[in-house]
């Protein structure tokens, strides 16, 4: 059942048609229920059915602390089609991040293979490793702020777990509020800004920055 104090995702729709929903997922809401419990999008799927017998299902994942565009399929054929778009890299995703210690250049691309690692003490994480899976992320600086902050636009060419977070850290500018990869404490400043799907007709949605990102974005030149 939905939990008290959690914003209703049905009030955060960016797009709705008979086959596809695009949701502005709030930061702090997991997409799938974890072994430790806590609220997740699964609690809210009945509210997102909008009269259909079949519950919508996410076509991809966002980390719990990442806000923004999340695509759900409302039918089996739609979910299969959407899954193919994401697997084949045909879903065009754009992210915004505020990072600590901006890159020296104004644009570039990180190409660094990623591998999952884990220990009993620290749990699991993703690491740059020549033996890992190929991963590439294009980036450009949209603005710079005080104390080494920078506002980046990031376009992942592949869809590896934690890819943007690890690639930012690999650039030497971890995402603000990402303690796992060197960004310090606080809330993670990462937004799935937009998504474009090659449907007929094409579907595109854009999410606005969540409240906790706006101060740092404004310091880097963002204007609502």
Q: List, in order, residues 6 or more apart from 218 with CB less than 8 Å away.
A: none
Cross-strand bridge partners of residue 18? none
Measure the CA–CA gap between 179 and 24, rounded to whole angstroms: 24
Choice among 6-10, 48-52, 57-61 with the minimum mean pLDDT: 6-10
Instruction: At 211, list the tokens.
Output: 């409240």
Q: 193 and 95 in contact (C-beta within 8 Å)? A: yes
Instruction: List domains and CATH numbers for the chain.
Output: 9-219 (3.30.2350.10)
**Residue 120: its pLDDT value, please?**
87
- pLDDT of 108-128, one tens digit each? 999 999 999 999 888 999 999
- pLDDT of 159-184, one tens digit each? 999 999 999 999 999 999 999 999 99
**Residue 126: its pLDDT value, please?**
96
**Residue 1: its pLDDT value, please?**
45
Say how many residues make up the chain: 224
Q: Which residues are part of the catalytic machinery?
A: 63
- C-alpha dihedral (114, 115, 119, 123), degrees to nearest 10: 60
- pLDDT of 139-153, one tens digit each? 999 999 999 999 999
Please, which pLDDT band fits residue 6 given cuts at 50, 70 and 90? low
Predicted confidence (pLDDT) at residue 134 exceeds the cutoff of 60: yes
- Phi and psi for 23 in degrees, rounded to 5? -110, 140
Q: 118 and 161 in contact (C-beta within 8 Å)? A: no
137-154 burial code (b ≥16 CB/10 A, e <16):
bbbebbbebeeebbbbbb
Measure the CA–CA gap between 93 and 123, rounded to whole angstroms: 28
């Amino acid at each position: 059942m939905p939990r008290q104090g959690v914003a209703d995702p049905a009030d955060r729709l960016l797009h709705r048609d008979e086959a596809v929903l695009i949701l502005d997922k709030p930061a702090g809401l997991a997409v799938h229920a974890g072994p430790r419990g806590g609220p997740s999008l699964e609690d809210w799927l009945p509210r997102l059915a909008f009269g259909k017998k079949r519950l919508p299902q996410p076509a991809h994942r966002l980390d719990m602390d990442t806000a923004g565009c999340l695509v759900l399929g409302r039918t089996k054929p739609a979910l299969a089609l959407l899954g193919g778009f994401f697997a084949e890299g045909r879903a065009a995703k754009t992210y915004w991040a505020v990072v600590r210690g901006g890159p020296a250049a104004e644009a570039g691309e990180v190409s660094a293979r990623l591998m999952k690692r884990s220990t009993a003490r620290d749990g699991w994480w993703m690491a740059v490793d020549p033996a890992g899976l190929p991963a590439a992320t294009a980036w450009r600086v949209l603005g710079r702020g005080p104390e080494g902050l920078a506002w980046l636009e990031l376009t992942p060419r592949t869809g590896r777990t934690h890819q943007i977070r690890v690639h930012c850290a690999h650039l030497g500018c971890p995402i603000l509020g990402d303690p796992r990869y060197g960004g310090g404490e606080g809330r993670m400043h990462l937004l799935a800004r937009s998504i474009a799907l090659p449907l007929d007709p094409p579907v595109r949605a854009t999410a606005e920055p969540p409240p906790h990102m706006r101060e740092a974005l404004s310091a880097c030149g963002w204007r609502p």
